[in-house]
Structure 1
């Protein structure tokens, strides 16, 4: 083959070789014949136990805003909980959903209590779907009753948090994430 014809043929081979190499580099590697997708298997656990509350059993508290706090002995699922009125006591007026704090063991919820009443709450009155650990083992059922005195009411979230022994970063209200311009709906009105 003449030299004039050889140079374009070599360039063509080099270009084809580069294209094949790029295609192979972009191709996902073949899976190992015995590849297994990762699965998390948790060992069996004992049911979580309620270890402390605010208010404590039979404690007397001020009327007004109250942060009900329930602390368990294990890390808990943030989406599994239920509480109901305790038999023979006034039902609490609380927001619907408690918040699990960063320790993964403490739930808090904002409630309103009135003077001169006795309130009661049962945690996991219905165990299925109730407070549960990360292995989905439901907590033991537990009840709490407390009294409300005729005193000056608690009217600020800060004071209610202090009484419950919470720090500023343990607020029972979680802020919604801020919407960014990229996530904002198009158009205007």
Structure 2
């Protein structure tokens, strides 16, 4: 009998059409599963998605802010570097100008000192020359007086006479020297 019932049941039902109770149970299970997923799982996924989106957007904003800050710092650094180079060039130029000024002052002082020493040397040489001339006149006068006295055979001890003889002798000597220098 069992075979007949199974066969009869098998004959009346189409294997391609599922049983109504199976469809109802499947639909109810799917509905419960859909309700649980939409009530608990989807909001959790949405919350996680929102948090990640916010984190990514915040990270991008932070990165853009950091990039802007880095660019500002770079611009400030470049400006400071330019200012430092300008200041270094100005200091270098000031040092050159100061060095040239000091060098000019030192050259001026050296020229003045050289002129002073040269003038002092000329004065000293002139004084020594005058002293030598006076000394030579005295010596030459004495020698000329003695020589003239020996030639003439009389003593020329008279100072006035000997001074005249010496002056005339030296004048003749200077005349001969100037005539020799002009030839």
Q: TM-score surpassing 0.5?
A: no
Structure whose residues are more often strand by fraction: 1
Query: Structure 1 length normalisation: TM-score?
Result: 0.24
Q: Is the radius of gyration larger for structure 1 or structure 2?
A: 2
Structure whose residues are more often helix by fraction: 2
